[in-house]
Structure 1
Amino acid sequence: MNTVAQHVVWFLPLLWLGMVLAISFVEAPLKFRAPGITVPLGLGIGRLVFRALNSIEAVLAVLLVLAASIVIPDTAVWLWLGAAVMLLAVQILVVRPPLTRRSDRVLAGEDLPRSHAHYWYIGLEVVKVVALLGLAIAAAP
């Protein structure tokens, strides 16, 4: 069981990292460049995709904490894991609610300027990428 947990602590951060890179830094920006995609359509797709991504990230975070509790790794692993979990929590609990309210207004037909919350979300994603990479390196066998 301990060996499985050790592999989980190393592998899941890389899986999580790949998902964040693919969705946040590839899919999200490209979606609005696709032919025929309007802002409301892009927002609707984005809301679904990021809700799913954040749900999967939360499951991965729980699995990582459980696996780390079994392995009891170095302090560096706990620090990187704590950073990744906290960044995800801030994104879900602090940044996403205003983004959701704003997208509700845009979908209702309001014409609004770009939200500063988007920049916060992107900034947190960049820092989360660093945390996940640090976690994977610290947990590597």
Structure 2
Amino acid sequence: MNHTSAAVAAAAAFVWLGMVLAISFLEAPLKFRAPGVTVPIGLGIGRLVFRALNAAEAVLAVVVIVAVATGSPAVAVVVLAAVAAAVLVVQLVLVRPPLNRRSDRVLAGEDPARTRSRAHLYYVALEAVKVLALLALGCVLQAV
């Protein structure tokens, strides 16, 4: 893989990684511990933040894919980039819609403790997979 394509892909992968770590594993759980933040307020904030995060992730995924595709990459680079992008697609297409429906119900007044959803657990598990893929991708690209 040529140096420029590898550098661009690595930078995008590490920025993407940092955003996911900061939002999903720091901001998201902490906002509910802030004084005065109710579940509906936290959900409203979370929806806005994750909508913005997912838009930024989509842009970064495109940058990674284009940089990888133009650089004659090793198989490991292609696989790791594909895993990160595929996880994002699964999150957006399969997991976010049930999460949005549940948050709609809570925002409409449903007691959040009344029903539990596994969609949140799937989202977090997929975030962990994405973090590992992005970390490995960035490290492999740095070695190029």
TM-score for both structures, normalised by structure 1 = 0.95
Q: Which runs of 5+ in 1 are unaligned?
A: none
Deviations 1:10-32 (A, max 9, x none): 11111100000000000000000
Distance 2:127 2:38 in 1: 24
| SS across alignment from 2:70 | helix
Aligned length: 140
Which residue in 2 is equivalent to 1:60? 60
Which residue in 1 is equivalent to 2:35? 35
Q: Is the 8 A contact 1:73 1:139 kept in 2?
A: no
> Superposition RMSD on alpha carbons, in Å?
1.0
Distance 1:114 1:8 in 2: 41
Q: 1:33 to 1:114 in 2, by over 3 A?
A: farther
Distance 1:30 1:114 in 2: 20
Distance 1:32 1:9 in 2: 34
Hey, which bits of structure 1, 4+ residues long, moved more than 3 A?
none
Q: Is the 8 A contact 1:43 1:103 kept in 2?
A: yes
| SS across alignment from 2:121 | helix
Which residue in 1 is equivalent to 2:83? 83
Q: Which runs of 5+ in 2 are unaligned?
A: none
Which residue in 2 is equivalent to 1:134? 136
Distance 2:12 2:120 in 1: 26
Distance 2:72 2:116 in 1: 44
Distance 2:106 2:39 in 1: 8
- Deviation of the 1:3 alpha carbon: 4.2
